[in-house]
Amino acid sequence: MSLDEIKIGGLGASRRRVEDNRFIRGKGNYVDDIVLPGMLHMEILRSPVAHARIKSIDTSAAWDMPGVRLVLTGEMMAARNLAWMPTLSYDTAAVLATDKVRFQGQEVCAVIADDPYIAKDACAKIVVDYEILPPIVNPVQAAAEDAIQIRDDKAGQVGNKVFDWEIGDKARTDKAFEDADLVSKVEMHYPRTHPSPIECCGSIADFDRATGKLTFYVTSQAPHIVRAAVALVAELPEQQIRVVSPDIGGGFGNKVPVYPGYVISILASILTEKPVKWIEDKTGNLISTGFGRDVYLKGEMALRKDGKILGVRMNTISDHGAFFADAQPSKFKIGLMHSAFACYDIPTAHMFATGYYTNKAPGGVAYRCSFRVTEAMFFQERMVHAAADDLGMDQAEFRRVNFVKDDDFPHRTAFGFLTDSGQYEKCLNVGMEAIGYKDFAKEQEEARKRGKLLGIGISTMTEPLGAGNSREYDILGIKMFDSAELRVHMTGKAILRTGAKTQGQGHETTWAQIVAHELGIPAEDIVVEEGDTDTAPFGMGTYASRSTPVAGAAVSMAARKVRAKARKIAAHLLEVSEEDIEWELGRFYVRSNSDRGVTIQECAMAAYSNMPDGMEPGLENTAYYDPPNLTWPFAAYFCKVEIDPETGVWDVLQFVAVDDCGVRINPMIVEGQIMGGLTEAYAMANMQYQTYDEEGNCIGANYMDFLLPTAWETPGFELYEVVTPCPHHPIGAKGVGECATVAGPAAFVNAVVNALSHKGVRNIDMPLMPNRVYEALTTGKDVYGMPPVRSGN
């Protein structure tokens, strides 16, 4: 009799999160919870201005304060060749400013003191003499012929351009536009936003001169990348570097890069020979660490009268801030923007992307997405919405006509990706049914007669999750595989370690479920550990929804290797040949007599006490997994809104989310991921953005200006499920963590624009704050850009 997989916490069990046992008791162990003997505290002095030449820095009053151990300046970093560091996009970024400050909040000095109060007091005593330079706060200013050059530190840098990059078939696309019955055009801006994890960044560097070992506790989504970076930048021997990511209070892409504070704390520990703790405050996190988005689009679609899309053009201009520090695979300059239109069968497409430096914080991290996929899918679904309107065609029907059909996989997209599975039309139908789509047009018409403004919006997309494969995806040359190491103890309990790093995703729960599925060991008997580079196998970390597609697959493969060895042990114990053994969940048995069997636990005991002659003892294995392709989940979201015509305030009346992320390991956790992602999508659509005034002051430097929605204003979401297993993943799973953040925003915006379509409104740039919606509804005109600096149009 086989085990009940749900009962042992296997695949499909909505098992409660084991990590919550400590989190809900306040017993998590975050970087700031770690206290080491003799530990010093570091505070960073940041630039108050966006662009200025540093004429002088006087740190003498800070040095004079009792309790101050060290004051570091850019010059002192430069003397050790540490004033600049490489970014994840082959650019350089300042660690402490030497020549100029290039954005508000840039790191200028660091004070290391006995306690954080003294460090902060001492920062206030440092006198920096700035010669103010004109700030550049958007790409239009950056591209101007007479624009001041921001990166005058870089030999060979021309103007403020970071890159020109293109992909697709230009000639064929031009031809498609010549043949089109109608060309639909849109212009829009995806505003700058910030991942804003509740826990800010921080580190403790503990350099032991006696052993030469550096132990580095850090809030990193990718501890192994940090170790590699420290080895390369600080030129410390890699075997002497131990990076530990303890519990992490949210990452969302913000904790992928290596930040100046990390590097400075390491040098400070080496110089003081004491552990040095640096904990960023909320303003520091918001104004200096990796932001998301900030891309302008000019999009065009060539259409045939019957609704068929013939070709797509996308021209993007992106604002990268002072340093090109996007966290992305090295082949691609604007991430995976060209994953746009992957769910549509489009003959040809072309994209031209240009990036600029500005006097804003560097970053361009994938805020809960795979490298600019959020922008790609938002632009896609806004272009699709506009095109259907321009054609006078129903929004759902236009999508249905252009979807890749279930039988057409694998499908090569117009930009060159290979999608492999999906049931797009089925998802669309489930959503239409749930939201009452067919009755809406009448409902809207009647509401308009009563002066009420109702709107409906659809967003459908498939996105590439789970980089790599290693042929195409690397970061700084390191291939994007991942790993798992499974060690089964003699009593049949186990420890599993992976190269990923959970930040709330629930790996400690779900990885154990995969092992339970593969071996029949109850999930509660398996402990999961991540984040310590001395013990975990090498992996590229957790972001881009890659954990389940890559590390999760490695867990399966490691477990299968363990099962293969256990099978040999079972044959030995049952005194039959291996070919006569069958497997059912948790147990091997003799094919001719199923009553004769041994459990996986009995095999584990034998691996340590009664192994066959000539067999290595023990029961453990490691798998490094390089996926053959990305995984392609699908989302179909529907949003119904009502706008208050006197205030521009809009309410979500209903939101339906249909997600197909393949096989769900833990449905409860998947639903949590979707709810969280939709909340972030709602935030971006409704209230959340970072902008800069004319002087380059960041508007959005704290939680009163940079808004996170609460349970109060976040609408309810109705979730539906369709399952199309991933054809290449060992258990058929696809990435899901980011689908809702990626597909969500366009559903909200499309709904609001739909409500105002009869007034001639085609676009309102996010965030759709009430005043902007009111402006659109009273003027009948589109609303572009971000206040107070409106740019780009």
Partner 1 sequence: MYPSRFKYESPKTIEAAVALLDAGKGDAKILAGGQSLVPMLKLRFAFPDQIVDINNIPGLDYHRFDADGSLHIGALCRHEDLEHSAEIAQRQPTIAAAAPLVADPIVRTRGTFVGSVCHADPQGDWAATMIALGGHLVVQGPKGKRTIDMKDFVLGPYANALNYNEIAIEAVIPAPKGVARGGYLKLERRVGDFATASVAVALDMDGNRVLRAGIALAGVGGKTIDANEEASALVGHDLTESIIDTVAAAVAAKAEPRTDHRGSSDYKRQIVKTFVKRILVAQIAEKVA
Which residues are identified as catalytic?
Answer: 221, 368-369, 738
Choose the binding region for partner 1 from 206-214, 490-498, 697-705, 754-762 (rule: CB under 8 A).
697-705
Q: Which is nearer to partner 1, 212 or 788 (CB)?
A: 788
- The one segment of 159-167, 288-296, 374-382, 641-649 that binds partner 1 by CB under 8 A: 641-649
Please say which residue, 155 or 711, places its beta carbon nearer to partner 1.
Answer: 711
Q: Which is nearer to partner 1, 98 or 104 (CB)?
A: 104
Q: How far is the CB of 224 from partner 1 (least distance, A)?
A: 33
**Cβ distance to partner 1 smaller for residue 171 or 704:** 704
In the complex, minimum distance from the CB of residue 322 to partner 1, in angstroms, rounded to a whole number: 23
Residues ≥6 apart with Cβ < 8 Å to 743: 377, 381, 459, 460, 461, 463, 635, 637, 681
Q: Nearest approach, Cβ of 289 to partner 1 (angstroms)?
A: 19
Q: At closest approach, how far in Å is the CB of 489 from partner 1?
A: 45
* 121 belongs to the binding site for partner 1 (CB under 8 A): yes
Of the candidate spans 169-177, 204-212, 696-704, 750-758, the one that interacts with partner 1 by CB under 8 A turns out to be 696-704
Q: Nearer to partner 1 by C-beta: 239 or 771?
A: 771
Buried b (16+ CB within 10 A) or exposed e, 643-675: bebeebebebebbbbbbbbbbbbbeebbbebbe
Minimal distance in Å, beta carbon 116 to partner 1?
5
Q: Which is nearer to partner 1, 261 or 311 (CB)?
A: 261
117 binds partner 1 (CB under 8 A): yes
Among the candidate windows 117-125, 256-264, 655-663, 746-754, which touches partner 1 by CB under 8 A?
A: 117-125
Q: Is 1 in the site for partner 1 (CB under 8 A)?
A: no
Three-state SS sequence of 285-318: HHHHCCCEEEEEEEEEEEECCCCCEEEEEEEEEE
Pick the closer one to partner 1 by CB: 388 or 678: 678
**Is residue 635 classed as helix, strand or coil in its secondary structure?**
strand
Choosing from 713, 719, 721, 725, the residue that interacts with partner 1 (CB under 8 A) is 713
The number of angstroms, rounded, from the C-alpha of 67 to the middle of its chain's C-alpha atoms is: 40
Closer residue to partner 1 (CB): 283 or 654 = 283
CA dist 298 and 784 (Å) reads 13
Q: Residue 401 interacts with partner 1 (CB under 8 A)?
A: no
Q: Specify the 3-state DSSP secondary structure of 283.
A: helix
User: Of 294-302, 434-442, 655-663, 683-691, which part binds partner 1 (CB under 8 A)?
Assistant: 683-691
Residue type, 226: V
Q: What is the DSSP letter of 615?
A: P
Q: Does 65 bind partner 1 (CB under 8 A)?
A: no
- Cα 327 to its chain centre, rounded Å, is 10
Question: At closest approach, how far in Å is the CB of 365 from partner 1?
Answer: 24
Which stretch in 141-149, 223-231, 386-394, 768-776 sits in contact with partner 1 by CB under 8 A? 768-776
- Binding of residue 134 to partner 1 (CB under 8 A): no
- The size of the chain, in residues, is 793
Instruction: Single out the residue of 120, 175, 400, 489 in contact with partner 1 (rule: CB under 8 A).
Output: 120
Q: How far is the CB of 702 from partner 1 (least distance, A)?
A: 8
710 touches partner 1 (CB under 8 A)? yes
Say if residues 742 and 674 touch (Cβ distance below 8 Å). no
**Shortest CB 677 distance to partner 1, Å:** 18
**Residue 770 near partner 1 by CB under 8 A:** yes
At its nearest, how many Å lie between partner 1 and the CB of residue 362?
Answer: 23
CB contact at 8 A, 599 and 616? no
CB neighbours of 49 closer than 8 A, spacing ≥ 6?
101, 104, 130, 132, 135, 695, 696
Largest CA distance in the chain: 87
- Write the interaction track for partner 1 spanning residues 16-45; mark x where CB under 8 A is met and - where it is not: ------------------------------
Phi, psi (degrees; rounded to nearest 5) at 37: -60, 130
Per-residue DSSP letter, 182: E
User: What's the DSSP call for residue 247?
Assistant: B
Tell me whether residue 478 or residue 687 sits nearer to partner 1 (CB atom). 687
Token pair for residue 564? Answer: 């293969």
The CA distances from residue 610 to 487, 520, 603, 604, 675, in Å, are: 18, 21, 9, 10, 50
| Cα distance between residue 106 and residue 213, in whole Å | 30
Show the 3-state SS of 56-122: EEECHHHHCCCCEEEEEEHHHHHHCCCCEEECCCCCEEECCCCCEECCCCCEEEEEEECCHHHHHHH
User: Toward partner 1, which CB reaches closer, 92 or 283?
Assistant: 283
Q: Which segment (114-122, 267-275, 420-428, 472-480) binds partner 1 by CB under 8 A?
A: 114-122
Q: Does 732 bind partner 1 (CB under 8 A)?
A: no
Positions in 510-569 near partner 1 (CB under 8 A): none
Among 228, 769, 776, 777, binds partner 1 (CB under 8 A): 769
**CB burial of residue 272 (10 Å; 0-12, 13-18, 19+):** middle
DSSP secondary-structure letter at 405?
P
Q: Are 108 and 309 in contact (CB under 8 A)?
A: no
Report in angstroms how near the CB of residue 691 gets to partner 1 at its nearest: 7
Strands 127-132 and 52-58: antiparallel
Locate tokens 């390089």: which residue? 626
Q: Which of 469, 707, 719, 757 contacts partner 1 by CB under 8 A? A: 707
Q: Does 109 bind partner 1 (CB under 8 A)?
A: no
Site stretch for partner 1 (CB under 8 A), options 116-124, 516-524, 532-540, 754-762: 116-124
Site string for partner 1, 771-790 (x = CB under 8 A): x--xx-----------xx--
**Closest-CA residue to 334 (of 301, 379, 302):** 379
Residue 200: name the closest of 267, 287, 118 by CA.
287
Among 92, 687, 719, 784, binds partner 1 (CB under 8 A): 687
State which residue, 4 or 705, has the beta carbon closest to partner 1.
Answer: 705
Q: Is 647 in the site for partner 1 (CB under 8 A)?
A: yes
Closer to partner 1 by CB, 122 or 606: give it: 122
Closer to partner 1 by CB, 285 or 421: give it. Answer: 285
Helix (H) or strand (E) holding 321: none
Report how many residues bind partner 1 under the rule CB under 8 A: 28
Among 12, 246, 672, 709, binds partner 1 (CB under 8 A): 709
d(CA 215, CA 491): 33
Q: Which stretch binds partner 1 (CB under 8 A): 253-261, 475-483, 707-715, 734-742?
A: 707-715
**Is residue 649 within the footprint of partner 1 (CB under 8 A)?**
yes
Q: Is the peptide bond before 468 cis (omega within 30 degrees of 0)?
A: yes
Per DSSP, which regions of 513-570 are E strands? 526-530
- Our finding on whether 646 is near partner 1 (CB under 8 A) is yes
Q: Which residues contact 710 (CB under 8 A, 6 or more apart)?
A: none
Q: Determine the Cα angle at 60 with ends 59 and 63, to 5°.
A: 90
| Helix, strand or coil, per DSSP, at residue 501 | coil
**How would you class 155 by CB atoms within 10 Å of its CB: exposed for 0-12, middle for 13-18, buried for 19 or more?**
exposed
| Cβ(268)–Cβ(205) below 8 Å | yes
- Residue of 532, 708, 732, 790 interacting with partner 1 (CB under 8 A): 708
Kindly list the residues in this chain that would bind partner 1 in the complex (CB under 8 A).
116-117, 120-121, 646-649, 686-687, 691, 699, 702, 704-705, 707-710, 712-713, 769-771, 774-775, 787-788
